[in-house]
Structure 1
Amino acid sequence: MQRMTETVVQVIPAIQEDDGIASLNALALSKAFLHGKLSPVEAARTLLDRIERLDRHVNAIVHVDREKTLGMARASERRYLTGKVLSPLDGVPVTIKDLSSIAGWPRRRGSLAFDGSSACAEDTPCVARLREAGVVFLGKTATPDSGCKVVTRSAVHGVTLNPYDPTKTPGGSSGGASAALAMGFGPIAVGSDGAGSIRIPAALTNVFGLKPGFGRVPAFPPDIDMPHSVVGPMSRSVADAAVMLAVMSRPEPRDPFAWPIPFVVPDDLGDPDLSDLTVAFSPRMGCDAPLADREVDELVAGAIPLLARAGARTCAEDPGWPVDPARPFQVFWDTVCSATVDGFAQDRRSLLDAGILRAAEAGRRVSIGSYQLAMEQRLKITAASREFFNRFDLLICPVLPTAAWSAERNVPEGFEDDDWRWCPYTFPWNMTGQPAASVPIGFTTSGLPVGVQIIGRWGKEENVLRAAAAVERRRMLAIVHPHSR
């Protein structure tokens, strides 16, 4: 796909003839397939053509294989004709973040240091489950080098832009996935989240993203960033993400941490009754946030009356952190970057992103005692979180303290690239391993999307999804496309 090394102000084209198919969600597509109103081949071909025509405006897609995609679509079409449909997602096109392996497809991880010239030998577990469900692989989406940024920029693929304002970032590290969804390049996407990398881009591009709890979606081989980093669904509707999660979380015998129980899609996502839930609202999440946008605050607060209207009991309360979560997280971030760098041959390390190299240097200075202290602090934070969620079913707070910022910067104006203090709301839940999601809540006066974060009890993704569906039902923001702003 086209490489974009400079930020260029562009205008997303007006409505096109293929917007009908491109705007359909996954379940609507499968229903159309089932009733013969649309074929998987027609859908795949239309979306591939759309990517070819429009991706130059955002640079979200880094690899397509038209023949393999159409081959998967033709196989799905035969299953519909013979009544042998594999799942509710059979024939539905998906994009997959280029940190995940697809058998027979290359994987570059956004890195000059990584050899992306050869095809992967096998699917990563979530990709294997999607393949078994008959999902059609549409393309691979952009990520920064090894998923190391909260924007999507790499020396390999250049800059990915926000469809709602191409001078802004779509976030990261799943920014290629979120931009692709917003552009209508498929209704569902695979993302991953080690510090907010699903929720941040979802919030900045008006899509839904769920970070499942650690162990919900199997992984193999085990990640050195456990329990922080997990794979999860991104979509333009909550129901699509729920069905996608049910598929992705099917068993994987090689993962020693995978849960032995299946995820069951809640049956009330169409109109959830939340009278069984107690919801806490915390505009600062008990953290010191040096950056706070008034418009974002007001939009996030607007989720509370929507949940109350759905029956939830709501009140204001902050989590009580025994220590600033940023302190242990910085240790884990730096040491994981150090391990990442050390995993490459000496002559390849200089090709890694400068941010990874800086963090790796800091990681090498972390003593065993300091690392053990960070482990102890993480345990205390997790225990405090468990105590909080013994009293509340859900916590509502921001995803970010700001809307999208300049695509030319890694972080908003006024902060250094390696400074995590400006966005304290996402990474604590990677340390505790709990489910958390971003659902669209509105737009700033300048037309930039904002998401609200919903965090749930460990093992209770269904309640996060039900609350997100209640917000979605009352705002209907998924129908607001970039070219309509």
Structure 2
Amino acid sequence: MQTSSTKRTEQTLAAIQDTGDEGHRIFTHVYEQSALAAARAADERAKSGITLGPLDGRIVSVKDLYDIAGEVTTAGSAVLKSAAPAKQDALIVQRLRQAGAVIIGKTNMTEFAFSGIGINPHYGTPGNARDVTRIPGGSSSGAGVAVARGLSEISIGSDTGGSVRIPSALNGVTGFKPTQSRVPRDGAFPLSFSLDTVGPLANNVLDCAQTDAVMSGQPLGTLPVREVRGLRIGIPRGLLFTQTDAAVQAAFEQVVAALSKAGCRVDDMQLDDWCSAPFRLQENGTLTAAEAAHIHAETLATQPNEIDPFVLARIQRGETIPAAHYVGLQRARAQLQQSLDARIADCELLMLPTVAIVAPTIESLSTADAFNQANMLVLRNTSVFNFYDLPAMSLPIRVGTGQLPVGLMVVARRHRDRDLLAMCATLQSQVESLR
């Protein structure tokens, strides 16, 4: 018999409290009273035979860039501490509450969501769930750690260049980035209008699928059962496999071998022209930096020294990007999306490591050079698929005792989000059998 929502919420609140200072680095706010009230209401509905759906009574945390009515949305920044409280919940939060979710707190994040590392000098850096001396991955740092440590059953993150999938991979949980237009961003503090997406982190694909359905306003239905045998999987060998840790490579190849043996049609694909294009086209300025400079123009003019220097440097690059470059980049992106769509039309999935490396120590990234090098490598694989607006999921493939987690990234064609979730549900059970 499933433990009541109230009991699970009480246990989770106690577990957060027991983490001490680390809990304050994972969560920026904990909503004890409202969470318990929501949990009790879910239990009363259950006693009466009423359910609001699969998230009714589930414990959910949200990244601190989504508005909660009456709370200041800090987006990981000290600059916003004195901002006006939100007048209403972000739309996805409204939908989660309507579905009966128990909102237990807001999770910490990289300032303004602008790095894949997860370090935050203002509110502290959550330690990796496996080893607190290592990075949690970002920008949804607290979200990944909260799920991995059992401090929320589901976390809501955002993903502009990998910020759901990276902390999922580095903490050993499951994370889903949908096609951008699928989930509304009303009430979410932006980083990039062109690239921001809203996605869940959880312990399994089904929880991600159910949460995605609620947030996107789509009927859940039942995920179709897909057979592993016959799945057409392409592996984009080349650029995105360079500088890969031996442990990551070994875990990935083990999965590929098992899927091939199970009857998947796994083929290497030459996609380097497309995989390298986002980096080549953005050498002189990225979409994210240009749009972030616009979003933060007032802060850059009045309080630049209040921003994390590592984040500030990335935003300030956007101030130097000419309009002609930005427009040309957008046009090139649209054309490349169409050509890649055609290239992978006969492939159901692409598959590669989510992150090329296991989580490095926080201390090792204390200098700007070390931070920037690690940040570029951590974001490399994931950011390509934001550029092409393809739905992507990270599945944990190495989470054994004494091992640092590794993520498997699975990518589908645009708007094939439900197909991706269904295929990943099948793949997850196959991958778990290897552990």
What TM-score do the two structures reach when normalised by structure 2? 0.90
Pick from 430, 433, 453 the counterpart of residue 389 of structure 2: 433
**Separation in structure 1 between the aligned mates of residue 391 and residue 135 of structure 2, nearest angstrom:** 25
Q: Does the aligned pair in 2 maintain the 1:411–1:417 contact within 8 Å?
A: no
User: Which range moved further: 75-84 or 462-471?
Assistant: 462-471
Q: Show the counterpart of 2:155.
A: 189
How does 1:299-318 map onto structure 2 within 5 Å? 299-318=251-270
Q: Show the counterpart of 1:455.
A: 411
**Separation in structure 1 between the aligned mates of residue 281 and residue 401 of structure 2, nearest angstrom:** 36
**Separation in structure 1 between the aligned mates of residue 47 and residue 123 of structure 2, nearest angstrom:** 40
The 3 A distance-change label for structure 1 pair 116 and 248 is farther
Q: CA deviation at 1:117?
A: 6.5
Q: CA deviation at 1:262?
A: 4.7
Answer yes or no: is 1:207 the counterpart of 2:179: no
The 3 A distance-change label for structure 1 pair 84 and 169 is same
Q: Show the counterpart of 1:395.
A: 350
Q: CA deviation at 1:378?
A: 1.4
Letter aligned with residue 106 of structure 2:
K
Q: Show the counterpart of 1:273.
A: 227
**Separation in structure 2 between the aligned mates of residue 283 and residue 131 of structure 1, nearest angstrom:** 43
Answer yes or no: is 1:178 the counterpart of 2:132: no
Deviations 1:93-117 (A, max 9, x none): 1111111112233322110111356
The 3 A distance-change label for structure 1 pair 358 and 117 is closer
Letter aligned with residue 282 of structure 1:
P
Pick from 422, 427, 431 the counterpart of residue 377 of structure 2: 422
Answer yes or no: is 1:241 the counterpart of 2:197: no
Q: Show the counterpart of 1:16.
A: none
Q: Show the counterpart of 1:216.
A: 182
Pick from 258, 279, 282 the counterpart of residue 326 of structure 1: 279
**Separation in structure 2 between the aligned mates of residue 150 and residue 354 of structure 1, nearest angstrom:** 15
Structure 1 moving runs of 4+ over 6 Å: 411-414
Q: Does the aligned pair in 1 maintain the 2:62–2:157 contact within 8 Å?
A: yes
The 3 A distance-change label for structure 1 pair 340 and 118 is closer
The 3 A distance-change label for structure 1 pair 477 and 185 is farther
**Separation in structure 1 between the aligned mates of residue 59 and residue 329 of structure 2, nearest angstrom:** 41
Deviations 1:257-279 (A, max 9, x none): xxxx65654132xxx41345311
Q: What residue ranges of structure 1 are gaps of 5+ in the alignment?
A: 1-30, 33-37, 251-260, 481-485
Partner-residue secondary structure (3-state), 2:303: helix
**Separation in structure 1 between the aligned mates of residue 30 and residue 401 of structure 2, nearest angstrom:** 36
How does 1:45-444 map onto structure 2 within 5 Å? 45-54=10-19, 56-57=21-22, 59-115=25-81, 119-220=85-186, 223=190, 225-250=192-217, 262=219, 264-268=221-225, 272-275=226-229, 277-284=231-238, 286-287=239-240, 289=242, 291-322=243-274, 324-329=277-282, 330-344=285-299, 346-410=301-365, 415=370, 417=372, 421-423=376-378, 424-443=380-399
Q: Show the counterpart of 2:6.
A: 41
Q: Show the counterpart of 1:11.
A: none
**Separation in structure 1 between the aligned mates of residue 86 and residue 322 of structure 2, nearest angstrom:** 36
Q: Show the counterpart of 1:12.
A: none
Letter aligned with residue 323 of structure 2:
I
The 3 A distance-change label for structure 1 pair 153 and 413 is closer
**Separation in structure 2 between the aligned mates of residue 468 and residue 55 of structure 1, nearest angstrom:** 36
The 3 A distance-change label for structure 1 pair 229 and 422 is same
Q: CA deviation at 1:462?
A: 2.5
Letter aligned with residue 243 of structure 1:
Q
Letter aligned with residue 235 of structure 2:
F
Letter aligned with residue 224 of structure 2:
D
The 3 A distance-change label for structure 1 pair 188 and 444 is closer
Deviations 1:145-167 (A, max 9, x none): 11111122223211110121111
Tell me which protein shows more helix as a share of its residues: 2
**Separation in structure 2 between the aligned mates of residue 450 and residue 412 of structure 1, nearest angstrom:** 25
Partner-residue secondary structure (3-state), 2:234: strand
The 3 A distance-change label for structure 1 pair 394 and 302 is same
- State the number of aligned residues: 429
Letter aligned with residue 223 of structure 2:
P
What TM-score do the two structures reach when normalised by structure 1? 0.81
Q: Show the counterpart of 1:474.
A: 430
